[in-house]
Amino acid sequence: MNEKIIKFAVFAALGLNFAWSPSKGQYMQNGAKVTEASMVNYDQFGYDVALSGDGMTLAAGVPYAGLNTSPYTGDGKVFLYQNSSTGFGASSQQIAESDNGTSDTYFGKHLDFSDDGNVLVISAHGYGVMEGVAWVYRKNTAGVYQMEQQLAPTGLIGDGYFSDALDISGDGMTIAIGAPRDDNSVGAVYVYRYQNNTWLPYGNKIVPTNNINFAEFGCSVSLSYDGNTLAIGGDNDDYYKGAVWIYNYNSAWVQSTKIVLSSGNYIGTEVALDSTGTGLIFANRQLFTTTGSFWDYRLVNGTWTNTGQVPFNVESMALHKSGALLVIGISRSNSAEFAVFKKNNGSWSQVGSNYVGTGASGISYNGAYSIALSSNANVIAYGNIDDDQNKGAVWTFVQSSPLAIKLKKITAESSENGNLVRWETASEEKGDIFVVEKSNDGSNFRVLSENIAAKGKPSLYSCRDEHPTEG
């Protein structure tokens, strides 16, 4: 359990401070919007965003930095930021594609972190006239990300757009990379595994065998935590109806199922597996409209089964590793907004209202174009590529900490073994534990008890101060 301790009251007469550890709740904006002063019109800062598992490191991609208008390409960059009490401030590192001796490759259009934040994968699908490569960076002991290896496909047919979609497993050992334009847009996916300090192909080049027409198989990819289950979207399959494929690794990648729906278009634009690889969320994003849905599939007795559909305008999405928390960037809402959904008793419901960051400039035609959720569920980041004439910006939100209890009374009584502190709650809306601290000056506190389990209902509690203040 990731517990966040919140101090909510100081009782001067008793010199006590109570703290409450909340259950997962609402989110609030985490500092000002994040951007760079060097951005110019159409750079599209925040085209993709990624967060480390602890929510302490943010990566923002800028694929069109140094824009060339003909052709519409740029010398991409990725900016890294560290979280603090005031949000994500000045960038801690900038990675430019020119560092690798390349240009005009859409560097930074897609990126992803391993859960521990030590490995960062960055796309460059424009490399070699749209053949594409991906770059793997690893954080050194000084906290700096250094280029570790270039990943290039073998057996690519045509301008495959390799790395137009990518995902790294939670354990940081497996990378899946889509090449949706391979073989005249039939599409393909390549998987790599970190072995003996190098990234090597993990199994065969994956191509669909039951696609209908040019599927653009690999337009989206998602791995389970251990990297042995893979979901692949092909949103053009069967003349834009779309489909989702599931593969499992057992000496080779073997197709488990192909999911198609009786209605809807562009199915599989977004796909996301939970950490176990037994829960799947996928969405369709209707181009030039605000209609769409997301679907929930579960592996039940060896069969992928539809357990729900929620109509919603999905532009981007990020699924928590538990499979029970989903954040969605909302498409074409004229402002970059996102929504939080939770799953309870098998059903999805939105938590609160839509969220929108403050300080935006201009209309956001593309909505929250990219979105990321930390593994501890404490931080959400989303990108608005339309902000300030397409310069782009990123907003971050953290879990808010509303007062989760109401105290009815609190007392302290002297006893042979120190002061006995008692308190009674009138209500307990949510939370995990109480922490009780003591202070003589209202500034410096000493812990009396830090692991008193909450009961979730009006209750009596007590702890003992074995070293009471004299006088």
> In this structure, are residues 56 and 44 in contact, taking their beta carbons and an 8 Å threshold?
no
- Is the preceding peptide bond at 71 cis, omega within 30 degrees of 0? yes
User: By the 8 A CB rule, do 112 and 168 touch?
Assistant: yes
DSSP 217: B
**Would you state the pLDDT for residue 101?**
78
Contact 167, 143 (CB under 8 A): no
| Range from 140-144, 274-278, 306-310, 432-436 carrying the lowest mean pLDDT | 432-436
Distance CA(7)–CA(93), nearest Å, equals 33
Torsion-angle region of residue 87: left (phi > 0), alpha (psi -120 to 50) or beta? left
Which of 83-87, 211-215, 405-409, 418-422 shows the lowest mean pLDDT across its residues? Answer: 405-409
Q: What are phi and psi of 137, to 5 degrees?
A: -120, 145
* 77 closest CA partner among 123, 13, 32: 123
Q: What beta strand segments (E) does 196-234 contain? A: 198-201, 220-223, 229-234
17 confidence band (pLDDT: 50, 70, 90)? very low
pLDDT band with cut points at 50, 70 and 90 for residue 69: low
Q: Which pLDDT does position 9 carry in this prediction?
A: 34
Q: What is the 3-state secondary structure (H, E, C) of 266-304?
A: CEEEEEEECCCCCEEEEEEECCCCCCEEEEEEEEECCEE
DSSP string, 77-138: EEEEEE--TT-S-S-SEEEEGGGGT--SS-TTSSEEE-TTS-EEEEEETTHHHHT-EEEEEE
Average pLDDT score over the chain: 87
Q: pLDDT band at residue 290, thresholds of 50, 70 and 90?
A: low
> Which run of H or E residues covers position 237?
helix 237-240
pTM of the model: 0.81
Torsion angle in degrees (nearest 10) through CA of 331, 371, 357, 342: 90
Over residues 359-386, the pLDDT tens digits come to: 999 989 889 999 999 999 999 999 999 9
Handedness of CA 300, 306, 312, 313 (dihedral sign): positive
**pLDDT grade, residue 5 (50/70/90)?**
very low
Arithmetic mean of pLDDT, 47-65: 96
- Over residues 131-159, the mean pLDDT reads 96
The encoded tokens of residue 136 equal 């793997």
